[in-house]
Amino acid sequence: MPRPITAQWSLPYTRPTSCGCLTAFSSLLSGSRGENPSIKYNEMYLDTLCLNMVQDPSKFDVLVMPNLYGDILSDLCAGLVGGLGVTPSGNIGYDGAIFESVHGTAPDIAGQNKANPTALLLSAVMMLRHMKLTD
């Protein structure tokens, strides 16, 4: 399970311009509630979260959960936006961050002019935003 600080560390990524929601699996928010009154805090289990994500993804802004559940949900979300081929990824930690496309190298389409750079470009945008290089 994530350390309790995880939910607190996630607060800066909850944007007031979006829905302003911080949703976490089960009781991971216990230490963070009330730290920022402008943020709506929700707790739900993965099955309920998946249902709500499919019905209306705009209800969510930042999600905090263990790695396995995050992996399951990120694949579901990739399906909602067009598949793994267009999905960016960012793993942000205390001492560093890694940004990447989530698809593989696709050797089966090499040399066929079919590769789609969308995931890589979106990952680069996420990295630049994380580094506060938005000009």
Residue 80 has pLDDT above 90, yes or no: yes
In a shared domain, residues 95 and 38: no
Q: How many CB atoms lie within 10 A of CB 28?
A: 21
Domain that holds residue 47: 1-66
Digit-coded pLDDT (tens) for 43-57:
788 888 899 999 998
Question: Does 75 fall in a domain?
Answer: no
Digit-coded pLDDT (tens) for 104-118:
888 899 899 988 899
As a whole number of angstroms, the distance between CA 133 and CA 69 comes to 30
Per-residue pLDDT at 121:
95
In a shared domain, residues 62 and 20: yes
Per-residue pLDDT at 3:
44
Residue 2 has pLDDT above 50, yes or no: no
Beta strand 62-64 with 97-101 is unpaired
The mean pLDDT value of the chain amounts to 78
